[in-house]
Each structure stands twice: as C-alpha cells, then as structure tokens.
Structure 1
Amino acid sequence: MKKINIVDLTLRDGSHAMSHQFTAQQMADLAAQIDTIGVDYIEFGHGNGVGGSSIQYGFGAATDEEYMKAVNPVVHNAKLCVITLPGIGTRYDLKMAVENGVSVARFATQMSECDIARQHIGMAKEMGLTPWAVLPLAKFLSVEETIFYAQQSEKLGAEVIYLLDGGGSALPEEVYERVFEVCKRVDVPIGFHAHNNMQLAVANSLAAVDAGCTYIDACLKGFGAGAGNCPIEPFVLALERKGYKTNVDLYKAMDVGDKYLKPIMPRPQELTSDQIMLGYGVYSSFLLFARRAGEKYGVDPRDIIKTIGLRGCTEGQEQICIEVAYELAQKKKAQETV
C-alpha cells in the first residue's frame, strides 16, 4: 500500500485568503491543532512565502520571525516547512528558519527559470534544510520540456520536485501524463499542488498520485488563494477508498476545520465567476488587473482573462491586461459601427 505524504498549506496558502492577516497567535493556535491530525508537513507564513511581506505583495499581520517563533514551540509531530521565491527570500531568511525549527525549504520559480534557485538550494543544504523545488505547470511547455526542467532541478540538488497547477486549469489526464513521465525520468520523489478553479483539485491530486506522486499539498476546507486548494478532508477519504495510505485522521481533520478554522475564515471557500475563468490557464494575480482594465475600457474582464489564457501569458505579465482590454474595446467599437 503506497504511503502518501500530506503537506498542509492551511497556514501559508490560506494566508492569501486572509489577506495575509493571520496573527501570530492565530497561526500558533491553528498549527497546534493541525499538528494533531496526522499531516506529515505543515507549511506556514506569509502567502507569498518568507520575505513576501512587502508593499508589493501585501504586508503580513506579523513578521516571518514572529510567525516562526509562535509556531515552532507548538508543533511536535509534523515537520515544519516554508516556501520562498529566489530574489525575495535571502540567506538570512533561511538562517532564521533553521534557528526556529524549520526542516524543509521550498523554492518556487517559473519552470523554465528553475536554475535561479541554484544558490538557494545550495545554501539550504549547507544550513541543514531539505530543499524542494516547486515548478508551475506551463501549458505552453511540452511534456519533454517539463521533464527537462524537472531533471535540471534534480541536478541542482532538490530532494523533492513539485509540479504546481497554480491557476487550477489542468485536467486530470493532463496531470497524469506529465507526472507519469516525470516520475519515470527523475530519481527524487515528485509532489503535486492543485488549485480548485474548475473544482478539479481532488481529481487532479488523485491523478497525480495514480501517476506516481508521493507528496501532495492540501488545506483544511481547501482554504487557500483564489478558489482554494485541494481540500484535505475529501482527498484523504478518496485516497482511503483507492487503497492509498496516509497518516491523517479524517475525523480529527474535519473537527479541526470546523472548530478552529471555520470561525476565523473571512468568507466560505467559494467559487466566483472570475475564478472559474482562470481555468483558461491564467494565474490568479491577473484578476485585479483584468477587473481594472475592464472597467477602464468598458469590456468584460472575463473576456480579458480568456484572451490572456489563450495567449499563454504567465506571472509577471499582468500589465498585458491593459493591452488586451484596449484591443477588445477597439474590436467592440468596430463591430458596433458596422
């Protein structure tokens, strides 16, 4: 019976849903409870990772150090995990993580830019952290290219390699194909991180497990950015029904979510029309830009998102919303004058 490692992201991806306003005490209280349900890892901190609290990403209610000092003493079973983006997180952040009981450091990059994590992975190893690579699935990259970048991450020293469906746009068969091929061609374990924009987070995570993944990201009640992540509770039940093993106590997970998380959730983890449109393969950071551009040029922001998805745009190109909105407005104007 294959054992699946569950990485709980309630306190990190869920920070996005809290506008990064988890207090240090709230994070400690939740971490203590999550630690009782049997997850293997607990990732915590600012939604954009260590070093992410800023005017660009939004200031957190507490500093990285305050979160670490609050969480470390109350977690006794799961391993603690942080994520950072090379160029934002620094060696000083990694040193602080080590000093506060963190075991795993995850480094997220664009898939085709995985080599920029070279120094961070090396420093993490030197400090005694276990480095993982997190690579977003890119629909404009072929399966062979995906394999190539996964192999590059392995050569850099990543001890687990994650494939991430940040926009929740992947279909189960697409997830299965890429994970299956990557698992055949690399020697380190593979993980998968799903988002729920098309309500496929559980199905996609199951497809990843069937294809060979042994690490899966999930949150209590799916509490995460945008439409949320893979919800632990139904996912663990689905794994059980398929004959896979986890350490998670399903009843405890349900109870912790209901008793401790639900009361502080600012809103139910629901699916909005905008979030559904991200299923075209657009990252959630485009949403606000699309809404503003749509309002400025009098076009439907859903059309903006759809067009951007069809063009294969990725993170960091959000300003293209203005160009797309202008083009759609001109097209609309031309049609009205015919």
Structure 2
Amino acid sequence: MKSILISDPTLRDGNHAVAHQLSAKQIATYCEAADKAAVPIVEVGHGNGLGASSLQVGESKETDVVLLETAKAHLHTSKLGIHVIPGFATINRDLKRAIEIGVDVIRVASHCTEADITQRHLGYSREKGKETYGVLMMSHMASADLLVEEAQKMELYGAEGIIIMDSAGAYLPSDVTERISALVEGLSIPIGFHGHNNLGLGIANSIAAVEAGATMLDGTARGFGAGAGNAQLEVLIAVLAKMGYTTGIDLYKILDAADIAEREIMPLVPIIKSESIVSGLAGVFSGFSKHVTRISNEYKVDQRDVYFELGRRKVVAGQEDLIIEVVLDLVKRKKK
C-alpha cells in the first residue's frame, strides 16, 4: 500500500474563515482531537502564517506565541507545523521563537514565481534540524515548466519536499495532473498538493495529484478554510483508504475530530457560494473573500465584478490593499 503524508491546516487555513479569531481554547480542543486520530502534521497559526497578524491582512485574536504554545501542549503524537511567508515572518524574531517553542515542521512559502525569497528561511530551518518544505502559492498562475524551475530553486535551498497550493481553487483535475507530473519528473524530492474547493473539485484535484505521483496532501476538517474551504479532510481520508492508500489516520477518530471542529470552532460549515465560484474562475486568492464582501457591500459594487477585475490585475495574497482601489475604480466607471 502506498503511503500518503497528510498535513492538516484546519487551525491555520481555517483561521481565514473566522477573520483570524480562533482562540487558544479552540486550538486546544481541535489539537486534542486531531492528535487522537494520529494526524501526522497539524498546522497552526494566522491564516497568512507566522508573523502575519496585521491591520493589512487581519489581526489575530491570539499571538503566535499563544497559538503555538497551546498547540504544542496538546499534541503528543502529531507534529506541530507552521506556514511561513518571508516578509511576514522574520528569521530573528518569528522563526527563531517558533523553533524555541518546539515546532516540528516548517513550510516556507512564496508566490509561485518568487521562490528566490525563501532561500534564507529554508536554509535556517534546515540548519536548525527541522523538517522543512517549500510551498508555491497561487500555483495556477504559472505554467508547469515555470513551477518546476521555481521548485528546483527551493530544492537547492534545502527543501525536503515541495507543495503546490491551488490558493484560488482554480484548477481542474487535468491542470493538477499536468503540473504534478512535471514536478515529479523534474525533482528528486516528494511533491504535495493543497486544494481549495471553489469549483467543487477539492477532493477530485487531490486524487488527481496522488495519481500523478504526489505523496503529500493537505485537508481540513469539514473543509474549514479560506473562501469555499479546502479539500475536506475526513472525506479525503475515506477516499484514499477506498483507493488502497494508507495515511496512518484512524478513520473513526478523524470523523470524530471533524464533528468536534464543526461544533467548537466553526460559525458555519464552508459552502460553495456564488462569489466563491467567481473567485475560482477569476483565479483570485480565496483568503480575499471576507475583504471583498465587506468592501463591495460598503460601496454597493457587485462582488463578481470585483473578483474578475482582481483576477485581471493578477492580484495575490498580501495585496489586500488593492481591493479598495479596484472597488473605487469600479464605482468611477459606474458613474461615467
């Protein structure tokens, strides 16, 4: 049986869905449940990762220290993982402190064409003996060949595996197959996939990734995550088992963990709303959803127009300030 390594970012990607307001109590509750289910990696933090709490992308209810110390105290079998974007997270302030707290897995991420910025963070993580991966976000915005070039840089910098993120939920299974196949052929380290469900293809795309050679997958409880949410973890575990893959995760206990997550940490279970579909079609970062909704409503602009304009401008995570610019431009056009 082929083994698939599962990473669960319910407590990181899911933080987007609640404007980064997950509490220490909620972190503890879900960590206990995921640990009992033997989830290999539980990723915790602000939706945009370590050091990202800010007015621009949203302030966390809890500090990074509180989030990580709480998770560490309630994980005994599972490893504690973090998402690190250079620019948000510094080495001396953020990464060093996270390592002192005891994080086990560090995933250093960049926009899919900017792997150069990850060199120092990847090198530092490996130097400290941590399990270290490279992540290429918004990967639909690059060709398969370009993704391979960027991933090869991360491999050279010390990444022990590469995960591509469908951050906008924009992929079709054929897109995933093309990119994962190219990465498997072009690199000598494991390849992984992180799916979003804007077009209802989170599970299908994850399975396409595995069939193309990926050995790492992300999934969240009930799909709790940005926009329409992620590939639903408990469904993913069940489907992989039916296909003959092993994850080491206890099915009954991950089903229990999902029930607990729905009850304790989710105001609403993610669904595919109209704006989520448009976001996926436009290729816009799923984490923009709350910002787009709020600003569009304030200025009485059609959210769908905002998403398509953001997609046309190729706006990416960290450029949330451009949403207001796009909305105001649309208001001016409407008046003319």
Q: So what's the TM-score if we normalise by structure 2?
A: 0.91
> Which consecutive unaligned segments of at least 5 residues does structure 1 have?
none
Give the Cα–Cα distance (whole angstroms) in 1 for the partners of residues 301 and 64 of structure 2.
40
Instruction: For residue 324 of structure 1, report the CA deviation from its aligned partner.
Output: 5.3
SS in 2 for 1:109: strand
Q: How does 1:160-175 map to 2 (within 5 A)?
A: 160-175=161-176
Are 2:7 and 1:7 aligned? yes
Contact kept, 8 Å, 1:98 with 1:128, in 2: the verdict is no
- In 1, are the aligned partners of 2:161 and 2:192 still within 8 Å (CA)? yes
Count matched residues.
334
For residue 284 of structure 1, report the CA deviation from its aligned partner. Answer: 2.8
Q: Is 261-270 or 237-246 further displaced after alignment? A: 261-270
- Label 1:158 to 1:41 Cα distance change in 2 as closer, same or farther (>3 A): same
2:63 corresponds to 1:45: no
Aligned partner of 1:303 in structure 2 is 305
The whole-number CA distance in structure 2 between the counterparts of 1:58 and 1:307 is 22
- Deviation at residue 325 of structure 1 after TM alignment: 5.2
**In the superposition, relative to structure 1, how do residues 327 and 14 fare at CA in structure 2: closer, same or farther (>3 Å)?**
closer
Q: Distance in 2 between matches of 1:277 and 1:15?
A: 22
Please say if residues 107 and 117 of structure 1, whose CA atoms lie closer than 8 Å, have aligned partners that are also in contact: yes
2-side partners of 1:22 and 1:166: how far apart?
21
> Identity percentage over the alignment?
41
Q: Residue 314 of structure 1 aligns with which residue?
A: 316
Aligned residue in 2 for 1:30: 30
Q: Deviations over 1:17-45 (max 9, x none)?
A: 22222221221121011111121111112
Root-mean-square deviation (CA), in Å?
2.3
Which residue of structure 1 lines up, in the alignment, with residue 82 of structure 2? 82
* Distance change >3 Å, CA 291–CA 98, structure 1 → 2: closer
Asked if residue 246 in structure 1 is aligned to residue 247 in structure 2, the reply is yes
Contact 2:151 2:162 in 1 (8 A): yes
How many angstroms does 1:207 deviate by? 0.6
Cα deviation, 1:143-179, whole Å, max 9, x if unaligned, reads 2111111111111111111100001011111001100
- 2:86 counterpart letter in structure 1: P
Report the Cα offset of residue 102 of structure 1: 1.1
After superposition, the C-alpha distances for 1:203-241 in whole angstroms (9 at most, x for unaligned) are 011111111111111111111111111111111111112
CA contact (8 A) 2:139 2:165 kept: no
Q: Larger C-alpha radius of gyration, 1 or 2?
A: 1
Partner of 2:117: 116
1:141 Cα deviation (Å)? 2.4
Structure 2: where are the runs of 5+ without partners? none
1:124-149 deviation per Cα after TM superposition (whole angstroms, max 9, x unaligned): 12222222111024444222111111
Counterpart code for 1:71: A
User: Residues of 2 paired with 1:110 and 1:64: CA distance?
Assistant: 22
Question: What's the counterpart of residue 208 of structure 2?
Answer: 207
**2:190 corresponds to:** 189
Distance (whole Å) between structure 1 residues aligned to residue 163 and residue 98 of structure 2:
21
Question: Separation in 2 of the partners of 1:320 and 1:54?
Answer: 16
